[in-house]
Amino acid sequence: MGVHEIGPRMVGERLMYNRAVRVESPLSWLFVSGHEARDDDGTIACTGDMAGQMRLALQRLGQTVTEAGMTMADVVQLRVFTTDLADCKAHYRVLMDELAAVRCRPTSLLAEVSALSDPDMLIEIEGMAVRCAGDPQADRTA
C-alpha cells in the first residue's frame, strides 16, 4: 500500500494540511480536503456570490483531483458545507450542472454551518474519489 500527499501546504517547515491524500491498494482512493473559492493569489473570490463560489470551489477541487491522476468522473462522494443553506439551495442547479458536465455522479452531503475558515466564504466542498489501482482509463457509467 502506498500513500501519496497531493499539494501539501506548509507553515514554515511544518505540514498544515494536504489538499488531498491518495492511497494505493487494490483500489486507488483519493481523499480531498475542503476546497473554497480562492483566486490565484489566495484570496476569496466572488464575495457574496454563491453561484460564483460554487463554480470556483468545484473548479479548484477538480484541479486537485486531476493533479492526483484522477478525473471528476472518479469522484464518488462530495460534502458541501455552506453558511447560507437557503442561498445554496437556490443556486444548487449551478453545482448540479457543473457536475453533469464532467460526468461526476457522486453521493453527497449538503450541510449548513455557522462559519467557515474565512468570513467571506459561503461554501466549501470536499470529496473522495476511487478507481482500480493501475487503471488510468477506468470509466464509470450511469
Sequence ranges of the domains in the chain: 2-132
- Percent over 90 (pLDDT), the chain: 75
Which residue positions in the chain have pLDDT lower than 70?
Answer: 133-142
Per-chain mean pLDDT for the chain: 92
User: What pLDDT score was predicted for residue 87?
Assistant: 98
Whole-prediction pTM value?
Answer: 0.86
Pick the CATH number of 2-132 from 3.40.50.150, 3.30.1330.40, 1.10.30.50, 3.90.1150.10: 3.30.1330.40
User: What pLDDT score was predicted for residue 133?
Assistant: 65
User: What pLDDT score was predicted for residue 127?
Assistant: 98
Cα distance between residue 74 and residue 70, in whole Å: 6
